[in-house]
Amino acid sequence: MIIRPSRLSKEEKEEIVKRLWNKDPSLWSQDPDTQKNIINRLGWLDVLPKMKNKLEEIINFAQEIKEERFSKVVLLGMGGSSLCPLIMSKIFGNQEGWPPLVVLDTTDPDVIEEAVHDDEIEKCFFIFASKSGTTIEPNTQFAYFWEKLKKTVKDPGKHFAAITDPGTPLDVLSREKGFRKCFLNPPDIGGRYSALSYFGLVPASILGIDINKILEKAEKMIALCGPDVPIDENPGFILGEFLGEMAAQSKDKLSFLADPDIEPFGLWLEQLIAESSGKDTLGIVPVVGESPGIPGFYGGDRIFVYLRTRGELDDFVKELKEAEFPLMVFDIKDYYDLGGEFFRWEMATALACHFLGVNAFDEPNVKLAKEKTKEIVEIYVREKKMPITFWVDPQSQINFKASRMLASSMKSLSRTLRDLFLVLPSWGYLAFLPYLPYDNDVEEIITDMRKLVRQEKGCSTTMGFGPRYLHSTGQLHKGGVMSSAFIIFTRRRKKEYPEIPGYGLSFWHLQFAQAVGDFQALSEAKRRVLHIHLPVDFKLGLESFSKVLSRACRL
């Protein structure tokens, strides 16, 4: 049941905050079994004292890595295990004298090859981060780099540390392989709520960031969000009420504006909000990385948050206010304020999910894409052939495949896109999902396509690289609002890539299987989805597709 916060009394709101701090699982579910699982995901509320007791351990470890003069540190992770380190590395960067941190959260073969060249691997250190220890992306990355290290150094285990929950396969592996260190995280914290635990703090310390200061900022925010703070002064509740109230009014497209230096923070927020709220055909859709437009192009389903460090977007924000769009502005005066923002948004998201009537701490639809990928991988390993065929558009010669929810019997890409836009309402959203290398040119081409769709069709757009998005917005895609459509991009191999040791296929095949698996999962969830298979020159292919999209948008 959706709850309108505006209809609650002050006393009822205060009671909700008290229940949150008492770890009352009935805020999100009345089912006894579900409540047991929720209780085991609320450790983020009191993780700070535990981490403060571990500060010396973390700092000493980071100092050890620094003193051994490793040329770079590579984090192998995905989703909640990688997004906080990623945004910390992008916003703070490595401090002087500290090694750079490369966050490897992909199965793209070119990105993995480029991350560590063969002639530098003996001077690299790796952090294998996985809550469950079973996630396929970091496990395959580990197999790949471990094999290379074995051929180069006498004791490859000394080049690895792990972050995981107690008793996981990774915990066992770290001992079997003689890892330098294994950080066992409190097990009652879900991945997307783990920024202020080992998963966020260890990589931050490796960058030379003052993690004690991060925790001090978090501690101040936690005090402001406590159960005894007046409800109209509680920053966590105020934000959660805003998100919940707007979503209850079908204003569910949460658009993030940010000054350039803080913009990467949106990637972490995107995962937290989408994976927490997107289920039971409900959810808040985070719109990140969209270029600002004229307020008249935005629909009534939009709300805005502006993350401000310099005030570069103030003129545009003024226009939004004049157009009476719901808007909240957060001043981030110091990058260390992120310590407090992590907690503010975790609390707000949990409360917004309460108001929406969904469980903030599960991800029921993520498993389906994993299962589909596993099936495709098994078929390929057995038959050495991918179980998919594409149509060839007679005009553009682009290879594509469409789900049954799209009228594509004519096998025309232009016709299929027109059908997609005929049924996608202006209050829906279109997601661009490239399984391609992280590349600025790719982002720019897709950003232009997003702008075109917003202007011509009025709907929101999102973009996420695969397979990263499978662990963030992927839950929202399959479990959230039905008024959505998806375009998946893959590319032909440019060469024969080596097999991942022990897996019987290359990273290209794994990445392609993940794309096909998600296509199947979205199709089974009755979503409208297109799979575009680009040529080896994928940038040229994207440009060609953008022309077809442009024509379809304008019809």
The pLDDT tens digits for 110-145 are 999 999 999 999 999 999 999 999 999 999 999 999
- Domain edge (last residue) among 356, 382, 413: 356
Give kind and range of the element (H or E) at residue 287: strand 285-287
Other C-beta atoms within 10 Å of 78: how many?
27
Identify the CATH number of the domain in which residue 542 sits.
3.40.50.10490
Question: In this prediction, what percent of the chain has a pLDDT beyond 70?
Answer: 99
pLDDT band, very low/low/confident/very high, at 266 (cuts 50, 70, 90): very high
Q: Based on the fold, state whether residues 55 and 111 are members of the same structural domain.
A: yes
In a shared domain, residues 123 and 199: yes
Q: Which pLDDT score is estimated for 62? A: 98
Structure tokens that stand for 130 in this block: 């996985």
What SS3 state is found at 90? helix
**Tally of CB atoms within 10 A around 68:** 13
Note the pLDDT of residue 408.
Answer: 58
Residue 198 has pLDDT above 80, yes or no: yes
- Which amino acid makes up residue 344? R
Which residues have a Cβ under 8 Å from the Cβ of 118 and sit 6 or more positions away? Answer: 148
Report how far apart the first and last C-alpha atoms of the chain are (Å, whole number).
Answer: 40
Query: Starting from the edge strand earliest in sequence, which strands make up the sheet with 399-402, in order?
Result: 391-392, 399-402, 528-534, 484-491, 429-434, 460-463
Q: How far apart are CA 193 and CA 312, in angstroms?
A: 30
∠ Cα 192 197 200 (to 5°): 70
Task: Tell which of 356, 388, 414 closes a domain.
Answer: 356
Does residue 189 form part of some domain?
Answer: yes
Would you say residue 219 lies in a domain?
A: no
Domain termination residue (choose one: 183, 209, 235): 209
Position 232 in a domain: yes
3-state SS class at 187: coil
* 121 and 266 fall within a common domain: no
pLDDT recorded at residue 410: 62
Note whether residue 151 is domain-resident.
yes
**Do 196 and 126 share a structural domain?**
yes
Distance CA 327, CA 307 (A): 11
pLDDT band at 406 (very low <50, low <70, confident <90, very high): confident
**389 in the same domain as 281:** no
Q: Can you tell me which residue has the tokens 């001077």?
A: 123
- Report if residue 214 sits inside a domain: no
Q: What is the pLDDT of residues 80-109, one digit of tens each?
A: 999 999 999 999 999 999 999 999 999 999
Q: Which pLDDT score is estimated for 554?
A: 84
Q: What are phi and psi of 84, to 5 degrees?
A: -65, -50
Q: Are residues 198 and 233 in the same domain?
A: no
Domain holding 62, by residue range, is: 46-209
Closest CA to 266 of 78, 435, 86: 86
**pLDDT number for residue 293:** 87
| Pair (242, 186) in one structural domain | no
The mean of the pLDDT values for the chain is 96
- The neighbouring-strand residues paired with 531 are 401, 488
Give the sheet arrangement for strand 101-104, strand by strand. Answer: 101-104, 72-76, 124-129, 160-164, 181-184
Cα Rg of the chain (Å, integer):
23
In the chain, % of residues over pLDDT 90 = 95
Cα of 194 vs its chain's centroid, Å: 13
Q: Is the bond leading into 467 cis (omega within 30 degrees of zero)?
A: yes
Residues 311-349: pLDDT tens digits? 998 999 999 999 999 999 999 999 999 999 999 999 999
Q: Give pLDDT tens digits for 470-508.
A: 999 999 999 999 999 999 999 999 999 999 999 999 999
The stretch 175-190 carries a mean pLDDT of 98
Are residues 261 and 383 both part of a single domain?
no
Do 385 and 522 lie in one domain? The reply is yes
Do both 274 and 306 map to the same domain?
yes
The position carrying tokens 């950003």 is 447
CB 127 within 8 A of CB 78: no
Q: What is the pLDDT of residue 1?
A: 79
- Contact (CB, 8 A) for 305 and 330: yes
Residues in contact with 31: Cβ distance below 8 Å, sequence separation at least 6, in sequence order: none
Q: Are residues 196 and 81 in the same domain?
A: yes
Of 166, 181, 63, which Cα lies nearest the Cα of 126?
Answer: 181
Same domain, 230 and 278: yes
Residue 217 lies in a domain: no
Under 8 Å between Cβ of 124 and 91: no
Quick check: 409 pLDDT over 80?
no
pLDDT greater than 90 at residue 174 = yes
Longest dimension (CA), the chain: 66
Number of domains in the chain: 3
Q: What pLDDT sits at residue 122?
A: 96
Note the pTM of the prediction, 2 decimals: 0.97
Is 419 among the domain residues? yes
b vs e for 513-525, b when ≥16 Cβ sit within 10 Å of the residue's Cβ? Answer: bbbbbbbbbbbeb
DSSP letters for 17-71: HHHHHTT-GGGT---HHHHHHHHTTBGGGGHHHHHHTTHHHHHHHHHHHHHTT-S
Residue 37 lies in a domain: no
